[in-house]
Amino acid sequence: MTALVLRQGLLGPTARRLLRHPSFVLGAVLFGTVVVLALAAPWVTEVGPNRMAVRLRFQPPGEMFLLGSDNLGRSMWSRVVWGARLSLLIGAWVVALNAVFGILLGLLAGYFPRLDGPLMRLADALMAFPAVLLAIGIAAALGPSVTTVIIALAVVYIPRTARILRASVLVVRELDFVQAARAAGATDGRILRRHILPNCMAPLIVQLSFVFAYAILSEAVLSFLGLGAAPTEPSWGILIAEGRSYIREAWWLTFMPGAAIAVAVLGLNLLGDGLRDVLDPRLTVERT
Amino acid sequence: MTAAPLLQVEGLTTLFRTGRGEVAAVEDVSFALAAGEVLGIVGESGSGKSVTALSVMGLLPEPPARIGAGRIRFEGRDLLAMPARERRALRGAAMGMVFQEPMTSLNPVFTVGDQIVETIRTHDRLPLSAARDRAVATLARVGIPSPARRMQDYPHQLSGGMRQRVMIAIALACAPRLLLADEPTTALDVTIQAQLLDLMRDLQTERGMGIVLITHNMGVIAEFADRVLVMYAGRVAEEAPVEALFDAPRHPYTVGLIGATPTLEGTGGALVTIPGTLPRLGDGLPGCGFAPRCLRATAACRAAPPPMVEVAPGHRVACLHWDRPTPGEARAPRVPA
Amino acid sequence: MTALLALEAVEKHFPVVEGVLRPRVVGHVRAVDGVSLALNPGETLGLVGESGCGKSTVGRLALRLLAPTGGRVVLDGTDLAALAPAELRRLRQRMQIVFQDPMAALNPRMTVEEIILEPLHVQGRRDRQALRDRAAELMERVGLSPEHLRRHPHEFSGGQRQRIGIARALAPGPRLIVCDEAVSALDVSVQAQIVNLLAELQREFGLAYLFIGHDLAVVKHVSDRIAVMYLGQIVEIATKAELFARTLHPYTRALVAAIPVAHPRLRRPRARLTGDVPSAMAPPPGCRFHPRCPHAEARCSAEAPALRPVLPGHAVACHFAERFLPSPPRPNP
């Protein structure tokens, strides 16, 4: 009873509906596990990700190494867990840049008709390229590094986020309360900040959860192609790239990081679906 | 009324499953409709008037809706005991329905002609050309100019009034004996509303249909109904012939509703109001649903739903204090000569 | 008496753009086409017409939520077009608006207190305690409990939300409120409460209302004077008593005839308008009403009638308005 009262009191109705949504809960558990393990990497791994034990090369998953060991005898468990840190960090940066620039461009395009045409044509042009191909092009031009990956993925996904926000702004800006704020003498900045943006957050949050998933996937592709992080910092994409040569002898080198990617992406997608159902049932999110 | 009624509803209770359990949207509603008669059902949001019509048509999604009790007889046959196929065959043929929103009730990707012809051919196995001819004739009858050309139009090419005429044409294409009209003119301008009410009146006289007209507008009732059912919070508050209802409304809610409606004949000044707000679905009051807003309400009103009392022939009221108007509440309006 | 608000030959033509690759203007929707009217302090002017006649656009032009494409809007002697943006924002305290849809009119993410005080916040008021008192006072004035200030709009019924919208409009102490179909979406029993509330507030604060509506009975109930619009133009304007004693424009007559009767014994067959309102993109030449007018003559399709005074306080845009006078007007002694 007390627990119920607490739940009712502390959480809004939205949070309560989320907690009753099966796919949100499953997604949150999957993705949450990945995040917790990544944060707790020093405590959940016994050896560092780069600690070699040449005599223990190619150990299959088992008692010695939970997820096996690689060609240099490094613990795959440790490498996957530490790799999660870099993959998630890149994902988080891409999401943050998406949020900032997606909001800015989406608000401007949606609210000021004069900016709408030019901004959206630019977005269309960027979106005309297949996402991964564009990312590869940008990353290749900038040279391989973690920053490169972040910038490339941000450039790829910001137009998509901006478009979704713009679509919501176009709807909300016509609502009467926005007119009321104008009638009261509110400036455009205040209208955007106080009245339009808060009412456009639902689709944005959903979109960002999907962007996170795409960023993790695309990071793996870029790193796999050698356009991402240096091999000394393991990310999931690098782990897969390294394991590729031994795929016949030691399947776990590619399978384990691949499974980690699958769990994280599946978790985020389920979470995003749940958010979409609860926050805005009418919303159809652009699946890029 | 000596002849068997066209439609007879007895003790209808329709329940909806919600987050707070099952709640009754319509409770113990009874009425009868004779052929050639217009029964107006009037009420505000949440009165259960639309749910009543949808229950009769069998158009409520089950679940969440469920007929909890009662009987609905159409020409003596129990609709609720009938197999789904038979009921579907009645729908659109013997019983037609017109909805409020003429835009969303028509399928935007088919032409007007396709939609009427489809309805006709669903029920009557006519050759396509004969069905087309009947469709054109029906469109002409509902006052659509150059009907043969309009057959090729898509709904978005028509004005709101024209779309509603098409809806009426679809409902009438198979010559139904009962027409349910749920707020058919609410989305339309007054001049268009007047045209459509005239049209429905003409068609009704011509074909002798029974019509159930659902509305929130007392003016439309005064203009069109023969008999009136006033609903509040899912129950019948009052039932009376239309003149009796306007001459001597007995239920305090009816009195308030008539007094709260501004009229062209009105003198200005403050309108009579009913204090408080409308009930919400599933408020679950044990007694009279109107008691919280009623100046006559006593402890007895709050204890149990008041029974229907016949106060004059054909005039029934669900109020314990129907003969005791209270100072401060609305007065019965003056009667024009 | 000088007018509080004056519209002088105001026009609003919305461009219609076609073409995806090379968009170009193919025409204009003449939503409002040469509307002049004046609203005195403390007065209610009803603006009535059917959907698409331009009445809501007039309301938005009066508040300069839309900029007119022609003519002038003058508030208290100030031409709104001549003001710098900051001056206009300050002047907005004097004119407010109440909307039709009580759900869309309130920002769902804000509390009632934030909603009501928003017009004061945007004017730079920061005195917390005074503002809080003001919000509580406004809530009470519109018949709501000040304890509910922390709630969000979805926790209120339609009628209560409309009261919140009215409280917001009252907050900056306006002299003019545009009521844009302010009671149209409400149930009858609640509509009457709001109509009465608006009347009380008018007496108390000396407000002027531009009351826009499609229900002539409601507009008649609240208004001192009434203007009837058809296809972007005013066809008749008169004091309430005058308009209903001598309804002169054929369109107004049709509008009155279309209103459902108040009592079943008043039913009678009546002349009905036929056809639909023509498109505002290509309004008929001459008098815009002539294709539907039962009294139209050759002149009506050739020459647009001006809105001209026919009787004291009664102007009509019809060539033959005098024919509809109950008896010939007696010359003034």
Please classify residue B104 by burial: count the beta carbons closer than 10 Å to its beta carbon, then call 0-12 exposed, 13-18 middle and 19+ buried. Answer: exposed
pLDDT in tens, B299-323: 888 888 899 989 889 899 998 888 8
CA dist A286 and A161 (Å) reads 9
Cβ contact (<8 Å) for C97 and A195?
no
Inter-chain CB pairs, B–C, below 8 Å = 142
Residue of higher predicted confidence among C92 and C52: C92
Instruction: Show residues of chain C in contact with A180, CB under 8 Å.
Output: 97, 99, 105, 118, 165, 168
Could you give the dihedral angle defined by the CA atoms of residues C20, C26, C29 and C34, in that order, rounded to the nearest 10 degrees? Answer: 140
**CATH code assigned at B48:** 3.40.50.300
* Residue B113 lies in domain: 7-232
**Closest residue to B271, CB basis, from C195, C272, C274:** C195
- Place B158 in a pLDDT band, splitting at 50, 70 and 90: confident
Question: Looking at residue C148, what DSSP letter applies?
Answer: G
pLDDT (tens digit, 9 = 90+) per residue, A98-115?
999 999 999 999 999 888
Q: Is the ipTM of this complex over 0.85?
A: no
B314 within domain boundaries = no
Chain C contacts of B193, Cβ < 8 Å? 258, 260
Of C160, C76, C164, nearest in space to C119 by CA: C164
pLDDT in tens, B179-219: 898 888 887 788 888 888 888 888 888 888 999 999 998 98
Reported as a pLDDT band with limits 50, 70 and 90, residue A9 is very low
Query: What is the pLDDT, as a whole number, of residue A8?
Result: 38
Taking CA–CA distances from C187, the nearest residue in chain B reads B44
- Is cis: bond before B63, omega within 30 of 0? yes
Strands B235-241 and B65-74: unpaired
pLDDT-derived band at A80, boundaries 50, 70, 90: confident
Select the residue from A14, A114, A177 to test the C interface by mutation, using most C Cβ atoms within 10 A.
A177
Q: Give yes or no for residue A228 having a pLDDT over 80.
A: no
pLDDT tens by residue, B280-292:
776 777 888 888 8
Q: What burial class does residue A90 get, using C-beta atoms within 10 Å of its C-beta: 0-12 exposed, 13-18 middle, 19+ buried? A: buried
Answer whether B318's CB lies under 8 Å from B306's CB.
yes
Both structure tokens of B326:
């209270």
Residue B227 pairs with which residues in a beta bridge? B39, B241
User: Which is it for strands C208-213 and C44-48: parallel, antiparallel or unpaired?
Assistant: parallel
Chain B: residue nearest C253 by CA?
B191
In a domain, B80, yes or no: yes
Between A4-13, A82-91, C159-168, the lowest mean confidence (pLDDT) is in: A4-13
User: B121 or C206: whose pLDDT is higher?
Assistant: C206
Q: Which chains touch A (3 or more CB pairs under 8 A)?
A: C
pLDDT per position as a tens digit, C119-137 = 998 888 888 888 999 999 9
B108 part of a folded domain: yes
SS3 call for A62: coil
C158-168: average pLDDT: 92
DSSP A63: S
Which chain B residue lies closest to C274 (C-alpha atoms)?
B195
The CA distance from C250 to C247, in Å, is 8
| A144, two tokens | 């391989």
Position B330 confidence tier, pLDDT thresholds 50, 70, 90: low
Is residue B322 within 8 A of residue B332, CB to CB? The reply is no
Average pLDDT over residues A214-226: 85
Q: Chain C contacts of A14, Cβ < 8 Å?
A: none
C-beta of residue C323 within 8 angstroms of C-beta of residue C295:
yes
- Enumerate the residues of chain C whose CB falls inside 8 A of the CB of residue A177: 104-107, 115
pLDDT at C238: 94
pLDDT at position A219 is: 86
- Residues whose CB is less than 8 angstroms from the CB of residue A122 and which lie 6 or more positions away in sequence, other chains included: A159
> How many domains, in total, are found in chain B?
1
Q: State residue A3's pLDDT score.
A: 35
Question: Using CA of residue A5, residue A10, residue A13, residue A19, what is the dihedral sign?
Answer: negative
Query: Of the ranges A149-153, B18-22, B240-244, B248-252, which one carries the lowest mean pLDDT score?
Result: B18-22
Contact A187 C122 (CB under 8 A): yes
What's the topology of domain A21-279? MetI-like fold (1.10.3720)
For chain A, the C-alpha Rg in angstroms (whole number) is 22
For the segment B114-143, the average pLDDT, to the nearest whole number, is 85
Nearest chain B residue to C194 by CA distance is: B273
pLDDT (average), residues B233-243: 92
Shortest CA gap C6–chain B (Å): 26
CB-based contact C4:C208 (threshold 8 Å): yes
DSSP 8-state symbol, A57: T
Q: Is the pLDDT of residue B40 over 90?
A: yes
Whether B312 is in a domain gets the answer: no
Residues C181, C212: Cα–Cα separation, whole Å: 5
Transcribe C84-107 into DSSP letters. Answer: -HHHHHHHGGGEEEE-S-TTTTS-
**Taking all residues of chain A, what is their mean pLDDT, rounded to a whole number?**
82
Check A180 against C104: CB less than 8 A apart.
no
Q: Which residues of B touch C163 (CB under 8 A)?
A: none
Q: Which residue has the tokens 């306007």?
A: B246
- Sole residue written with tokens 């008539």: B258
Residue B175 lies in a domain: yes
With an 8 Å Cβ cutoff, are C190 and B278 in contact?
Answer: yes
Q: Out of B216, B270, B337, name the one closest to residue C199 (CB).
A: B270
Q: How far apart are CA B224 and CA B212, in angstroms?
A: 11
Report yes or no on chains C and A touching (3+ CB pairs under 8 A): yes
The nearest alpha carbon in chain C to A121 belongs to C21
Helix (H, G, I), strand (E, B) or coil at C35: strand
Could you tell me the pLDDT band of residue A59, with boundaries at 50, 70 and 90? confident
User: In terms of Cα–Cα distance, which of B266, B265, B246 is closest to B254?
Assistant: B246
